[in-house]
Structure formats: structure tokens, C-alpha cells
């Protein structure tokens, strides 16, 4: 059992706004049961959790996107509460998860007429909380064997929701098409601290919250990594990757809301070089526990 209390004050140009301020506490129970069944490890758990909005989503500032679109935060945004019941089954390098969740006040991006503009084409995009709670069922299976220097990873998941969203004509639509992903990732250990990475992923049509994917997407990347010892200065890792080398990651969809938007993103071949310097890996100089990780993630 965990208890959290939050108190925040909100000022708008020096004026204290009571309606936006937060002062509340919540209990978050957790229960788990695990047992072996032969060579299979089973676990069943329940928990109630909270996800508070990112600080950027709580801002009242408005950002210009283009002549027809502006984007802002929402200081009235409430946290999301999740009740989860999770069944996990593990056998050697195989893992299967069944996760049922009841989600309250989920955040979603809403497209609305811009207040004060006479042009009906000008829209404001901002985060809001969903009006209706919804159920979510996740089925996930992962296979991660080790075959010599080859480390393949196969994963597949499908998510079922009964998510409800308002439509431009004032009606309500239930977005319950399954959302799925099928991925195959490969890491190959090479001599002299070299590694080769290959990944392919297929996303079929489906619904994710108020977004309906109307075109299947194929993603891929290829990368090469090298670890370089810097002796007493630690180690340096160079990671060079090419994302979407075949330019097949084109996605299209419909964003439902008070105003409905059609989204189309073209494929882009992208190269990225990432350099990571690791020092003090033995943690001889810093022994902190990182208690503020959740708050840093919100930023």
C-alpha cells in the first residue's frame, strides 16, 4: 500500500487561480502472487497507479504551428488513474503477458476551433481528459533466445480498447479496432567489440485512443555499434543507425474529436550517430538512489 499527497499552486500573471490548484491525496494498493508450475513461472498482480501530466502539457502558452493550426497546453488537465490486473507466464527465453486495465481520465489531444478567431479553418490543438473511462486488454508474447553470437528478439502484441471519442457531427464513436505490432530485432556480436543491429516491424491498421490508423506501416532500421575503451576515463560507445532505409514507413490516419483531422506522414530515411561516454561505472563517487526519476521524466 502506498500513499501520495500532492499540493500545487497556480498563478496566472500573479493571480492565484483556485480552480487550477491541486491539493489531494491518493492510496495506491498493490498485491501480487507468484508460483512455479514445473519449469514455468507464473505471477498474478493487481495495482492501482497514477500518471500525472507532463509539465509541458500543463502550460497555458500557445505555440504557432502554421497559419491554420496552434497548439497549447491545458492547466486544467487531471492525472490519469489506472487499475491493472496482470498475468505473466515465463518459460526459459519465452514470456507471455495478459494485462487488463480500467483507465480513468486518460489524456488525449483534442482539435477545437480557436477561440476568438473568425476564420473557421483555424484550429487549436490541446490535451484534454477523456469524458468516458474505458477498458483495455493487452496480449503480449516475446521470444528472446541466444544462439551463439546471435541475439534475436521476436515480439508481438495486440491491444483491445472500447475507447469513445466525440465526432465533428456531435455523435460519439467507439474506437475498438485492435491495435497490433509485430517486430523482429537482431543483435549480432562481432569481433573487436563490434555489434550489428537489424530490426523490422509491421503495424497493421487499427485504433489507438482517438487515432484510427488507415494504412499499414512497415518500419525498419540497421545499425552498427563499437565499444572503445578509454582506460581510466571509462568507455565510449559509438552507435550509427539508419532508420527506414527502404522508405516504407508511411502512415495515414484520422484523429477524431470536435474537429476531425486527416494525418499523413511521408517516409523519411534518417541517419543518426549517438556517442555515449560511460565513466565511474563502479559508482565509487556517487551512491544516490535516483528518487526523483518520475519527476524528471515529467519534464
Average pLDDT value for the chain: 91
Q: Give residue-wise pLDDT tens across range 81-126.
A: 999 999 999 999 999 999 999 999 999 988 888 888 888 889 899 9
Kindly tell me if the per-residue pLDDT of 289 is higher than 70: no
CA 205-207-208 angle, 5° bins: 125
How far is 163 from 127, CA to CA, in rounded Å? Answer: 16
| Closest of 255, 260, 69 to residue 168, by C-alpha | 260
Q: Give residue-wise pLDDT tens across range 207-254.
A: 999 999 999 999 999 999 999 999 888 999 999 999 999 999 999 999
| CA dihedral (124, 126, 131, 135) positive or negative | positive
Q: Give residue-wise pLDDT tens across range 147-199.
A: 999 999 999 999 999 999 999 888 999 999 999 999 999 999 999 999 999 99
CA 131-68-59 angle, 5° bins: 50
| Closest of 186, 166, 183, 185 to residue 175, by C-alpha | 166
How far is 211 from 191, CA to CA, in rounded Å? Answer: 45
In this structure, are residues 222 and 245 in contact, taking their beta carbons and an 8 Å threshold?
A: yes
How would you label 161-176 residue by residue, b for 16+ Cβ within 10 Å and e otherwise?
bebbbbeeeeeebebe
Q: Give residue-wise pLDDT tens across range 41-57.
A: 999 999 999 999 888 88
Q: How confident is the model at residue 18 (pLDDT cuts 50, 70, 90)?
A: confident
Burial of 27 (C-beta count, 10 Å sphere; 0-12/13-18/19+): exposed
Q: How confident is the model at residue 6 (pLDDT cuts 50, 70, 90)?
A: confident
Amino acid at each position: 500500500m502506498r500513499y501520495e499527497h500532492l499540493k500545487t499552486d497556480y498563478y496566472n500573471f500573479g493571480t492565484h487561480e483556485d480552480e487550477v490548484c491541486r491539493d489531494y491525496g491518493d492510496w495506491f494498493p498493490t498485491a501480487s502472487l507468484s508460483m512455479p508450475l514445473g519449469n514455468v513461472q507464473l505471477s498474478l498482480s493487481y495495482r492501482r497507479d497514477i500518471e500525472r501530466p507532463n509539465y509541458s502539457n500543463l502550460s497555458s502558452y500557445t505555440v504557432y504551428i502554421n497559419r491554420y493550426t496552434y497548439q497549447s497546453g491545458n492547466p486544467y488537465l487531471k492525472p490519469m488513474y489506472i487499475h491493472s490486473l496482470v498475468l505473466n507466464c515465463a518459460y526459459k527465453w519465452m514470456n507471455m503477458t495478459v494485462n487488463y486495465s480500467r483507465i480513468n481520465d486518460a489524456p488525449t489531444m483534442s482539435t477545437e476551433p480557436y477561440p476568438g478567431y473568425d476564420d473557421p479553418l483555424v484550429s487549436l490543438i490541446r490535451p484534454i481528459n477523456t469524458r468516458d473511462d474505458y477498458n483495455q486488454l493487452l496480449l503480449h508474447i516475446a521470444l528472446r533466445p541466444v544462439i551463439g553470437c546471435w541475439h534475436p528478439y521476436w515480439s508481438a502484441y495486440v491491444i483491445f480498447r472500447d475507447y469513445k471519442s466525440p465526432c465533428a457531427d456531435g455523435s460519439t464513436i467507439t474506437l475498438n479496432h485492435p491495435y497490433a505490432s509485430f517486430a523482429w530485432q537482431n543483435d549480432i556480436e562481432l569481433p573487436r567489440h563490434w555489434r550489428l543491429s537489424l530490426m523490422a516491424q509491421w503495424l497493421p491498421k487499427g485504433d489507438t485512443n482517438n487515432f484510427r490508423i488507415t494504412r499499414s506501416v512497415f518500419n525498419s532500421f540497421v545499425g552498427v555499434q563499437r565499444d572503445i575503451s578509454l582506460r581510466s576515463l571509462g568507455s565510449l560507445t559509438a552507435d550509427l543507425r539508419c532508420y527506414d532505409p527502404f522508405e516504407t514507413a508511411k502512415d495515414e490516419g484520422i484523429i477524431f474529436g470536435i474537429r476531425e483531422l486527416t494525418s499523413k506522414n511521408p517516409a523519411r530515411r534518417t541517419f543518426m550517430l549517438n556517442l555515449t561516454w560511460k565513466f565511474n561505472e563502479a559508482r565509487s563517487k556517487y551512491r544516490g538512489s535516483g528518487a526523483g526519476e518520475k519527476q524528471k521524466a515529467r519534464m
